[in-house]
Structure 1
Amino acid sequence: MTNNAPIDDVSIGGDGIRLGQFLKFAGLLDSGGDVKEAIIDGYVTVNGEVDRRRGAQLKLGDVVEYDGRRVRVCE
């Protein structure tokens, strides 16, 4: 199933950020506890693949999806 939701660009002001930090920074989730639960339960995808590593290093251009919203890591 393909998500046709628009992709919002979120500038991180650098080259990389960890998945857990990015979910909060992009406003997809509010707290570290919510982030941890969403990732462990498999509700977060990176570039279309479920990633259960809160500390996974994202790079510019990666697309993260949670709850129907898609955001792209930008400089």
Structure 2
Amino acid sequence: MKIKIEDEYIKLDSLLKYSSAVGSGGEAKLMILSGEVKVNGKVITQRGKKIKPGDIVVFDDIEIEVE
């Protein structure tokens, strides 16, 4: 799925919530801290990680391409 952002970046937990990959911010936090989210192929455990256009976030079987 492709998600277009208007700002320079979006925080990882906010992106998961915005894209409906998770149901809540709390769920996003747990998934990130447990190492279930990859950004550009690397496991990320920082929920405040800045995600910019061109980044690819993978969570479960969901791939989010940020534009």
Which TM-score band applies after superposition, normalised by the shorter structure? over 0.9
Gaps of at least 5 residues in structure 2 are none
Question: Which stretches in structure 1 are left out of the alignment for 5+ residues?
Answer: 1-7
Helix, strand or coil at the partner of 1:72: strand
Greater radius of gyration (CA):
1
Q: Which runs of 4+ in 1 moved over 4 A?
A: none
TM-score by length of 2: 0.94
Structure 2 partner of 1:27 = 20
Which of 2, 6, 15 is equivalent to 2:8? Answer: 15
> Percent sequence identity over matched residues?
36
Aligned residues: 67
The aligned residue for residue 71 of structure 1 is: 64
Q: CA RMSD in A?
A: 0.8
TM-score after normalising by structure 1: 0.85
